[in-house]
Amino acid sequence: MSRELSPREIAERSLIKKYRKELWNPFIAAVKRYELVQPGDRIAVCISGGKDSMVLAKLMQELQRHTDHPFELTFLVMDPGYNPENRALIESNAALLGIPITIFESDIFDVTVQVEKNPCYLCARMRRGFLYSKAQELGCNKIALGHHFSDVVETTLLGLFYGAQLQAMPPKLTSKNFPGMELIRPLYCVHEDDIIAWKNYNHLRFLQCACRFTEARDTAGDGVGESKRQEMKVLLRELKRTNPNIEKSIFRAIHGVQLDTFPGFKYRGGEHSFLEFYGDRRDVFGGKDT
């Protein structure tokens, strides 16, 4: 008689069996396409306690288990000021899923709660700095974040609509403030809806954000709340009714930017016009007069 699988084993098997097409394959595609993991890497997988970072941790474990190019993993949890219940939920989920987490503390929530303008932006910036610093202290050369395909598309729209810029979220980024460190996003090609499906299939409950600004979202009738990012989610829902491939089109667009069609752009902190930077070099881009 076959042995009954544990919740951990069921969750792991579902990643590479039931949700192979939706989760494992696009995860591997991103790792290979953007060259995110190299032999000998020491990667700090940053876990917030939400569904995205937890599924990232499990996928990275599976990759480490099956790869021919060994690398090391550290599962890093920063406690920015969670209440005891939320911290306990992170710890219990990590134990349930077999993720050996390392926890360290910061006072980010105490700082950001005093900020009226853009507290979420400040929180994200501070989190990343703390994570880089701790990962480097532990001997890691990369941090892995749980941003996914849907985050990439939404960020692109946010920049366009509210930031007055055409800017995307890159799959990897070299740190300017922490020499030798790199940020990678292995879920770059994974859709949020598929992460939610995996979570529900395994009857798992994760944190959403757990900061002091999430009450409006958690009590919102539409389930997404009032932030600008949630506004993008609602907008994309509406657009997909008439164009189911709208997200794919936006994603492909950031991979096929026609630079010579823009009257100006920013490059390495400086602002330039196309002709100022390249001169009349249509041969470089194969462009033509418009």
Say how far apart CA 214 and CA 192 lie, in whole Å: 19
Ranges under pLDDT 50 in the chain: 215-224, 272-290
Token pair listed for 93: 């989920």
Are 184 and 30 spatial neighbours (Cβ–Cβ below 8 Å)? no
pLDDT of residue 116: 64
Q: What is the DSSP string of 20-87?
A: IIIIIHHHHHHHHHTT---TT-EEEEEE-SBHHHHHHHHHHHHHHHH-SS--EEEEEEEESS--HHHH
Burial classification of residue 89, based on how many CB atoms lie within 10 Å of its CB (0-12 exposed, 13-18 middle, 19 or more buried): middle
Token pair listed for 160: 């366009």
pLDDT of residue 124: 77
Are 56 and 23 spatial neighbours (Cβ–Cβ below 8 Å)? no
Backbone φ/ψ region at 113: left (φ over 0), alpha (ψ -120 to 50), beta: alpha
Dihedrals φ, ψ of 100, to 5°? -80, 90
Pairing of the two strands 182-184 and 172-174 = antiparallel
Report the side by side order of strands in the sheet with 42-47: 101-105, 72-79, 42-47, 142-144, 182-184, 172-174
Please list, in sequence order, all residues whose beta carbon lies within 8 angstroms of the beta carbon of residue 39, skipping any fewer than 6 positions away: 69, 70, 71
pLDDT of residue 6: 94
The chain-wide mean pLDDT, for the chain, equals: 85
**Residue that the structure tokens 């070299």 belong to:** 174
Question: What is the Cα gyration radius of the chain?
Answer: 20
pLDDT tens digits, one per residue of 194-215: 999 999 999 999 987 656 555 4
pLDDT of residue 114: 65
Dihedrals φ, ψ of 173, to 5°? -150, 130
pLDDT of residue 115: 64
Pairing of the two strands 101-105 and 142-144 = unpaired
Element (H, E) at 144: strand 142-144
pLDDT of residue 265: 75
pLDDT of residue 267: 67
pLDDT tens digits, one per residue of 64-79: 999 999 999 999 999 8
